[in-house]
Amino acid sequence: MSPETPMADTEALLKALLDSPAPPPKLSEIGRVAEVGDGIAIVTGLARALSDELLEFASGVRGIVFDLEPERLGVVLLGPSEEVALGETVHRTGEVVSVPVGPALLGRVVDPLGRPRDDRGPVEAAVRQPIEAEAPLILDRSAVSRPLATGVKAVDAAVPVGLGQRQLIIGDRQTGKTSVAVDTILNQRDTGVICIYCAIGQRGDAVAKVIAALRAGQVMDSTVVIAAGDEDAPGLAYIAPYGAMSVAEAFAAQGRDVLVVMDDLTHHAHAYRELSLLLRRPPGREAFPGDIFYVHARLLERAGQFAERVGGGSITALPIVQTQAENLSAYIPTNLISITDGQIYLSPRLVRKNQFPAVDLGVSVSRVGGKAQSRAFREVAGNLRVTLSQFEELEDFARFGTRLDDQTRARLKRGAAVRAALRQPERDPVAAPVQLAVLVVAMDGLFDGMDEATMTGAMAAIRAAMEEDDAGLGVRIAENEKLTEEDRARVLARARAAVEGADRGAVT
């Protein structure tokens, strides 16, 4: 080998490198923070940024491009605004906000970005999905035809909810809205329904109580808790329900039935209003921006019963909204009433009467769930709403001390007994056969004239008897069969025996 060979190889290599095309230039935009507010930042220098793009700040905080203006970007921060300094650099990520999805989330407590809030380490999810998605097409949907049992007697009997329905839970503070939603989750323990509880702007102790109730009810293994507390950035509260819906969509695409509780959309609307006003968006009615209806509509339209060709699953949405002084005509409540398929109204008037759950059947309505309700419930509870409304009218009239005939007294006793039969403690959902038995007995007059303590004991005895042996009633309810006269007679006989046994025990 001649000594010139290595030199020749080097020259050839250099010549090849010089003749090869130059690599394309890599452009990197760097922005800077021009202004910082409570939960927002104004960024300059990122002229190519896209709407809803995720930005990375030098401090590690992330943000979403909210407003696009010629010389500036309005950015919603997903972390503490105190950590963002004026003049610090900002980089584009070329991504949108996404959340981890899949079975790895079951049993976990996470924030809206999928970061763990429990002590079980990081979420080992292989797939992430954007929090924003288009609502399914009409052709990809099916009619609501299967019931979602809530375990709440007043709801299942008079305001039934179907799988794939959007049912609003509405009422003043301290009327039991969260309790109805949590009881509904607890009632899904043996149904195979996956539950997602999304806490928006709630206090940490309130969320901790809900998690404790879910664990005590043994439903946490099939539940995902997504929490954005009142101490978190308002940007996290804003994206929380969208992240919960993306998690639900991943399960629904696999053919699963999913229940999503959003607690509550009043805080969500307030967070969006706060961010919009700080970013100088023009305010409208009640200082909300003009697109607040679209903010909630595009969220709830993602729920529904889906056709077999797109998985055949369902997403049932139970959004919660808070009213002030029973004002149902406020801006956000009227928006959500028009978006959803019905509402469960919890009345402070009934709370003052110690009626829990305080479901006002005169205002509550279910526009599609009745088609999914079993025939047995429809037969028994068909006159429930009329019976209670007539009773309340007579009750108001009887307060004037007017003399009442025997027929009116009997109707008052029947109405009081039916209303009392709908009472139940929180965190204690009732199975469908037990609900049906209690309703049959109440509508038939067996509870007429009973005092509260005696009726409580009687209902406990009926529940114990039906849970021990319901004579196949639960199967027939699940198969949507009618309640026969034999079934009704059998339920009444078992109820009378249970009540008499309870009375004998009380006397002893």
What are the binding residues for ATP? 171-178
Cβ atoms of residues 30 and 90 within 8 Å: yes
Interatomic CA distance for residues 464 and 438, integer angstroms:
12
Structure tokens at 90: 């900002």
Measure Cα distances from 27 to 23, 88, 415, 424 in Å. 12, 19, 75, 64
Is residue 289 classed as helix, strand or coil in its secondary structure?
strand
Catalytic residue among 32, 141, 146, 367: 367
Which segments are annotated as binding site? 171-178
Interatomic CA distance for residues 494 and 278, integer angstroms:
64
Residues 6+ apart with CB under 8 A from 168: 318, 319, 320, 321, 336, 337, 340, 342, 343, 344
Helices (H), 143-203: 153-158, 177-186
Cβ atoms of residues 230 and 201 within 8 Å: yes
Structure tokens at 497: 């025996």
Residues 6+ apart with CB under 8 A from 366: 159, 160, 161, 165, 167, 341, 342
Interatomic CA distance for residues 195 and 224, integer angstroms:
6
Mark whether 141 is an active-site residue: no
Q: What angle do CA 452, 454, 457 make, to 5 degrees?
A: 110
Measure Cα distances from 205 to 119, 307, 323 in Å. 17, 40, 22
Interatomic CA distance for residues 300 and 244, integer angstroms:
11
Active site residues: 367
